[in-house]
Amino acid sequence: MVCYSQKSLLVVVIGASGDLAKKKTYPALYALWNACLLPANTTICGFARSAKANEDFRNHLKPYLKSSKKDGGDTSRVDAFLSLCQYRKGASYGDWEGIQSILSETNCDNILIYLAIPPHVFGDSTGAVMKARKNLEAENPSNTSKGFFRVVLEKPFGHDTDSCKELLQSLSDQEWPEEELYRIDHYLGKEMVQNILTLRQHNPWLGALWNKHVIQSVHLIWKEDIGTEGRGGYFDPYGIIRDILQNHLLQVLTLVAMEPPSKWTSDEIRNAKVDVLKAMPTIELKDCLLGQYDGYKDDPTIENRETVSPTYACIQTKVNSSRWEGVPFIMEAGKALNERVCEIRLHFRGQDDGSEFDGMSQPNALVIRLQPTPKVFFTANLKTPGFSSTPASTHLGVDYESHLDDIPDAYTRLLLDVMRAQQENFVRDDELIEAWRVFTPVLHETEKNKVGPLPYARGTSGPELRQDFLNGMGVTQPWLPPASAL
């Protein structure tokens, strides 16, 4: 099998003039090029409806392409990368003739299409790309086996089960093979998310702890200390559940809860994730605590001043498998809270009679912190230094802060996976359907009945009932080191 780097590559970014492309897609491509991870013969062509000359487009991208420390601030590397970047105006996202002209003129072996566009026009673009592809294959049948043809699609993949199935059906009707589709959730490219499987696979002693007999609860937390800040018009139709829980946190949950596969291949890993989703019940309203921060409705971009869209959600669920029977899994996410953090907390059980928690010692936890700085640590009770025998709560772990320059951005890592045909970090069609099955009923119920979220003040941990809600699920609050101690 010939390595992708030995063949010519065409990257077509559809929606190239938008925010996603300039802030994420092109910086990721630059990072790969700068690390010599793109083929020597690479062409990158942006395609969008805006009229731009090549030079104008490059100037549009340049502020978002940062020289690495290794380059010593030398911008010549950025300029060299931009010389690879072209731009074409299309009549629409479904302009198959415009796309076909790009494919035919570049005539590259491998083709990667990146859809940096709103989901409601995915079908137009994928249909246009497939039509252009088939036309070229009909004109020159010998080119059909030159190399790969892959499409990257951004979330959200629908807004409920039915819309998701419609998107999947449109791709099927256009005759896209599943192995050519890469549905990207950038959380799966984060350093510590990828570390979950490494921790489990290469530390056998953890296997003895990773079960219902040792773990009391699993808490997945995503917090932002800012509100929508002028993006409320985009956020409001989705709400925090669709924006964070149904995709990012649920993806992380499946990696924590999945059974170790017999072989750590892309298919086996994704099969194991789907098995977790199938073992989860549909979420009910009684399992949810919903909130909305004070002042959210004042965002000038929100049209509905009576909106009940939640900016905070804490949801309990279960994984009905032999490993996790009876263990609550809590997904919690919110905006305008007291800190910016995303982490996984596995809370360990104590003595049955609770005798060790006598006011001096604290419950233990394994914490995998995704952001702001990647870390993994245990909370532990150790003897206070000196003559005292009183236990002191502390942490034992690994801090990735000194390695931040070596950690690639999630989009960079995932685009490299696309070229290497490594699909374990992309969402498969059956996984999407199961994920929406879990959440669709409660989403429909809250929207149909206009369930009002509880108010909470900016800079707090959420609604006042939050801790009571967690206590009701048997979720202990372990001691966690202050940020300054990490």
Q: What is the pLDDT of residue 396?
A: 84
Chain length of the chain: 486
pLDDT in tens, 225-269: 999 988 899 899 999 999 999 999 999 999 999 999 999 999 999
Mean pLDDT to the nearest integer, 434-441: 97
Kindly state the average pLDDT of the residues 96-109: 93
Q: Which residue has the tokens 């971009």?
A: 301
pLDDT at 352 over 70: no
Q: Is the pLDDT of residue 166 over 70?
A: yes
pLDDT (0 to 100) of residue 145: 59
How large is the average pLDDT for residues 189-211?
A: 91
DSSP H helical segments within 146-203, as ranges? 161-173, 191-202
**319: burial class by Cβ within 10 Å (0-12, 13-18, 19+)?**
buried
Tokens of 98: 């415009």
395 catalytic? Reply is no
Q: Work out the mean pLDDT of the chain and round it to a whole number.
A: 90
14-70 pLDDT, tens digit each: 999 999 999 999 999 999 999 999 999 999 999 999 999 999 999 999 999 987 666
Selecting among 248, 347, 395, 403, the annotated active-site residue is 248
* pTM of this structure: 0.92
Distance, CA of 232 to CA of 237 (rounded, Å):
9
Positive or negative torsion for Cα 289, 294, 297, 301:
negative
Residue 77 and residue 53 in contact, taking contact as beta carbons nearer than 8 Å:
no
pLDDT, residue 486, reads 45
> Nearest-CA neighbor of 79 among 53, 60, 58, 54?
58
Q: What is the pLDDT of residue 69?
A: 65
